[in-house]
A and B are shown apart, each in its own frame.
Chain A
Amino acid sequence: MGQVYFEDVNTGDEIPQLRKNCSTQQLVLWAAGSGDFYQIHYDKDFAQSTGLKGLIVHGALKNAFLGQLLHDWAGEAGSLRKFGCAYRGMDEPDQDIICRGVITKKYSEGGEHFIELDVWTEKPDGTKTSPGTALVTLPGRG
């Protein structure tokens, strides 16, 4: 993906989607990477003993997926200033998690070019599971 510039984007534009599908192996890799070894993410019996239907994807992993979505889109000359999401719904392993973002505002201030976005993860049926917002800077062509 080439560098995206401030002048090339408009309010309402959707940024390129990032599609994830977590195997249980990836959940274990994430546990090792993040240090979070809570058993609801890799031990089905344990997960069910807490009242869950089965294993669930770490909320912070979905946050990191949205970070990757924004990082990949903004490119090396862009930067992410603020970003967050709430974990409103659970995602399961071996099910697509579609990471999406839509531009809600663009403006320039103090010589920098800012983009505000709504970002979220969604299930294949369109249910949003991790809605959030982001503030990104992009380079200008000038």
Chain B
Amino acid sequence: MAEVFEITDEVKAQFGVETAPWVYEVTTTSVRMYARGIGSTDPIHYDVDFAKSQGFRSIVAPLGYVGTPAFSPETNDATFGFPRRQGGARLNLPMKGLLDGGTETEYFDYICAGDTLVETSHLADVKVKGNMVFVTNESVFKNQATGQVVAKQRLTSIHLG
């Protein structure tokens, strides 16, 4: 039986190819909305004065927030919200269904409202198991003002063929 996706030399050549930088604004509204979606009641995610009293620049983004896009209809996917980045890998993946496969994030600093993050990402791995294609992308997020790396993230999505 033919594989739903073939890892050709052309695919392999796209591993590690970086996207153009993508900018994320971290706003108080988006941090609060994300915290509300989790069901967190910690004021560190909602109350700027409280967060500052704890030594933070502003309200702190919950763990998992990094990568939450600032949406524009010009540049983001209408359903999933993710940015259609310039450059990087272009794969003709099956799309009968799409599932989250896993998330791994390494944190080097807190992310707070008012920060602007710059992300670059690249294709790190592709595996095929039956009708499922596991695609892993690695991203690096830097604070635009300081240039410091604040997080590295590996996201795996499962494309169903």
Contact B100 A83 (CB under 8 A): no
Q: Which bracket fits the contact residues of B?
A: 35 or more
Q: Which of A7-15, A35-43, A102-110 contacts B (4 or more CB under 8 A)?
A: A35-43
Report which of B34, B79, B102, B156 forms a contact with A33, defined as CB distance below 8 A: B34
Contact A64 B38 (CB under 8 A): yes
Q: Which of B10-18, B103-111, B117-125 contacts A (4 or more CB under 8 A)?
A: B103-111
Contact B107 A81 (CB under 8 A): yes
A55–B33 Cα gap in the complex (Å)?
22
Interface size of A in residues (CB-CB distance below 8 Å) = 39
Give the Cβ gap from A11 to chain B, nearest Cβ, in Å: 22
Contact A37 B81 (CB under 8 A): yes
Q: Which residues of A contact B34 (CB under 8 A)?
A: 33-34, 64
A29–B34 Cα gap in the complex (Å)?
8
Give the Cβ gap from B94 to chain A, nearest Cβ, in Å: 12
Report which of A37, A39, A68 forms a contact with B40, defined as CB distance below 8 A: A68
Q: Which of B1-9, B60-68, B85-93, B141-149 contacts A (4 or more CB under 8 A)?
A: B60-68
B70: nearest chain-A partner, CB-CB: A35
Give the Cβ gap from B97 to chain A, nearest Cβ, in Å: 5
Between-chain CB contacts (< 8 Å), 7 pairs:
A26-B39, A33-B35, A37-B80, A67-B38, A76-B54, A81-B107, A82-B106
